[in-house]
Chains A and B, each alone.
Chain A
Amino acid sequence: MDIRNLQGYASFFMTIFLVVMLYGYIVHLYRSEKKGEKDYEKYGKIALDDEVTSKPIEGDSHTKNESEEHK
């Protein structure tokens, strides 16, 4: 198989894969909200209530332990 074909197949399958993921994400977003597992809309409030002293919408005790994510 030459590189042209490989390129074609790779792009085709990656496109399909990404489309499936995107649709999966839509389903995930709405289903988890319907089941009450997760309220995505509350994150919208992060922008409104953004004082350094205000309570995080979603904060927990090990926030500070993520130093491995420093880059």
Chain B
Amino acid sequence: MQSNAALEYDYSVAKLFTYTTILFGFLGMLIGTLIAAQLAWPELNYLIGEYGTFSRLRPMHTQIVIFGFTLSGVFATFYYVGQRVMKVSMAESPFLMFMGKLHFWLYFVGALAAVITLELGMTQSKEYAAFEWPIDVVIVLVWVIWGISVFGLIGIRREKSLYISMWYYIATFLGIAMLYLFNNMSIPTYFASGGIGSIFHSVSMYSGTNDALVQWWYGHNAVAFGFTVPIVAMVYYFLPKESGQAVYSYKLSLLSFWGLMFVYLWAGSHHLMWSTVPDWMQTMGSIFSIVLILPSWGSAINMLLTMKGEWNQLTENPLIKFMVLASTFYMLSTLEGPIQAIRSVNAIAHFTDWIPGHVHDGVLGWVVFMIMAGLFHMAPRMFKREIYSKKLMEAQFWLQTTAVVLYFTSMWIAGITQGMMWRAVDEYGNLMYSFIDTVAVLHPYYAIRALSGVLYLVGFLMFAYNMIKTMTSSRVLTEEPQFRSPMA
């Protein structure tokens, strides 16, 4: 096969998804910060009438950061990394180019419709799967088109062996497809009742405990296949490429992959401990959650060892800083999760603020850091300009790291305080606190969390500004950088 001298990678779809990553990232974090502040200062609920209450905004926050920000980031990096590790350009196939563009526009229209319907209160009320059925149909279509892109690109690849990142992207595709379809099985009542009532309304195919089982099988694993698997795909490409060091042990990366696939799905039932699901399943969830530490740490340690002998890059290159810290937070939250899955710990932690605390050290420290690092790495190559400001990046790094630490420490304390107060009894065995006591005591922690939200949001704005300046007015590069991203 000859390579055409004029042939270049085509990043047009990756660029489009980069824009939405920034847009939805800002929107999702803005709402997140607002609802954090609402818990500390409830008057903030009334800014825009019924549409501005915590009730409407919290589902929007979760759905926008998951389906808007994270998925955009996954797609953007896929359309970049996929071409490169398979050494094939999308420009070689007009069909794939068309599919890529269709993928983006359908996704974007679907995302806007999703935001509007959620704001109007149309929801099937499942956490992280709140969209009503018409939006679900769009999401399925978007996913099928992405599948065509993934496997189409694989079909015309030059590099015969699939790099480990591709393994993870394939797993993301399959995992989310399966989970999303099964969890969202519902019957539109308008059609089933012969045209009565709202056309948007649907009723779940599962009821009660079964619905809970399916939902948390989904909820847990959507985190696996949305927040872990594709982000690992990113770190396996961007960290080696940015540092110029091959993965420390490719064999370990393969092992961790299969280990993760094997173990992760079993751990879902740990969300339902002490509930009405069968005991053996809760125990299974607990055990597998602990086993899950092994493959997760396998990947994380592999990343840190990749930097072996090259730690000086950590001080010289802020991008490496972002990625190393992301890997570290990945280790932290994959250790914290299994601890919460131990039954006795779960008894205290469940229903408290420790759970959002855990989620956020994972997403803020690991997912968002990694996606931002990936986009920073891609920018000079996609836009052929150097990164606008290294100083700004450094400042952003420290600001956001502080924010994450404030977030999870305050929520750890809040969660454990609350969990202990709920169960505290006096010498006669009577409950010591009324529920409202356990709410009032959290005010300072909620205030700290709101502050950390503001810091993180400012950091994200610095990222957005840096990216936009890079796209538009930074110094033009004459040739593509090989490893380290050039920055002013």
Contact = CB atoms under 8 A, between A and B. Distances in A.
Interface of A: 8, 11, 18, 21-22, 25-26, 29-30, 33, 40-41, 43-48, 50-54, 56-61, 63-64, 66-67, 69-71
Contacts of A67: 155
Given A22-B258, A47-B241, A53-B5, A63 B158 contact: yes
A38 B111 CA distance: 46
A61 to B, nearest CB: 8
Interface stretch (B146-154, B216-224, B311-319, B387-395): B146-154
Interface string B4-48: 010111000000000000000000000000000000000000000
Contacts of A26: 255
Interface of B: 1, 3, 5, 7-9, 83-85, 87-89, 147-148, 151-152, 154-161, 163-165, 236-237, 240-241, 244, 246-247, 249-251, 254-255, 258-259, 262, 280, 284, 483
Closest 4 CB pairs of A and B: A44-B246, A71-B151, A50-B84, A46-B163
Contacts, number: 104
Given A25-B255, A63-B1, A70-B152, A48 B240 contact: yes
Given A43-B250, A52-B84, 5 more contacts: A11-B284, A44-B246, A47-B240, A53-B5, A63-B160
Contact of B251 (A30, A45, A60): A30
A47 to B, nearest CB: 5
Given A47-B165, A47-B237, A58 B9 contact: no
Q: In the complex, which of the residues A41, A63, A67, A69 has the most CB atoms of chain B within 10 Å of its own CB atom? A: A63
Nearest to A26: B255
A60 B241 contact: no
Q: In the complex, which of the residues B159, B240, B241, B262 has the most CB atoms of chain A within 10 Å of its own CB atom? A: B159
A52 B240 contact: no
A40 B246 CA distance: 12
Nearest to B159: A56
Given A41-B246, A44-B247, A69 B258 contact: no
A56 B241 contact: no
A19 B163 CA distance: 24
Given A29-B254, A50-B241, A60 B160 contact: yes
Contact of B262 (A22, A52, A53): A22
A4 to B, nearest CB: 9
A47 B156 CA distance: 18
29 contacts: A11-B284, A22-B258, A29-B255, A30-B251, A40-B251, A40-B254, A41-B251, A43-B163, A43-B250, A44-B247, A47-B163, A47-B236, A47-B237, A47-B241, A47-B246, A48-B483, A50-B87, A52-B7, A52-B9, A52-B84, A52-B89, A56-B158, A58-B159, A61-B1, A63-B157, A66-B155, A69-B154, A70-B148, A71-B152
A40 B251 CA distance: 6
A47 B3 contact: no
A40 B247 CA distance: 11
A67 B483 CA distance: 33
